[in-house]
Amino acid sequence: MNTTVRETDGRKTEQFAAPAASVREIGDGYLLQVEMPGVNKEGLDISTEGNELTITGRRSLPTIEGAVIHRESRRENFRRTFEIDPSIDVNKINAKIEQGLLTVTLPKAEHVKPRKITVS
């Protein structure tokens, strides 16, 4: 994605790149996948505040000595904020990162799941 998020942190300004993402509805919740090449578990920070889920990925890029002949990649770290549905149980959000692809599972809260009431 080409969108750049600018953040003012005191006097220091860091530019972030917004990573490409996809959202999919699964059985009891949603599956969010975010592409963050160069980010591993250590560089990842996921937080929720109110109905917002913010993902920050700091990249540990391979350092290569030599002259750059051709460059298409961007150097910025990643950050993106997603609005989360009120039906999601924020305490049960689960995340894993594999080969630069972050997968976040957002399960729906028990009380919003369809429930069958047995007649006694």
Partner 1 sequence: MQLIRYQTPELSNWPTLDRWSNLRDELNSLLDLPFLTNFNRQDLFSGWSPALDLYQNNDNVVAVLELPGMRKEDIEISLHDGTLTISGERKSSASNGENAERTERYVGSFRRSITLPARVDANKVNATYRDGILTVTLPKAEEAKPKRIQVAS
Dihedral of CA atoms 43, 39, 33, 17 in degrees, nearest 10, equals 90
Write phi, then psi, for 76 (nearest 5 degrees).
Answer: -65, 155
Instruction: List the x/- string, 20-59, binding to partner 1 by CB under 8 A.
Output: xxxxxxxx--xx-x-xxxxxx-------------------
State which residue, 10 or 34, has the beta carbon closest to partner 1: 34
CB atoms within 10 A of CB 16: 18
Residue of 62, 114, 115, 117 interacting with partner 1 (CB under 8 A): 62
User: Which residue, 3 or 9, is less far from partner 1 as judged by CB?
Assistant: 3
Q: Choose between 37 and 86: whose C-beta lies nearer to partner 1.
A: 37
Interface residue with partner 1 among 6, 8, 9, 65 (CB under 8 A) is 65
Phi, psi of 81 (to 5 degrees): -115, 135
Tell me the three state secondary structure of residue 65: coil
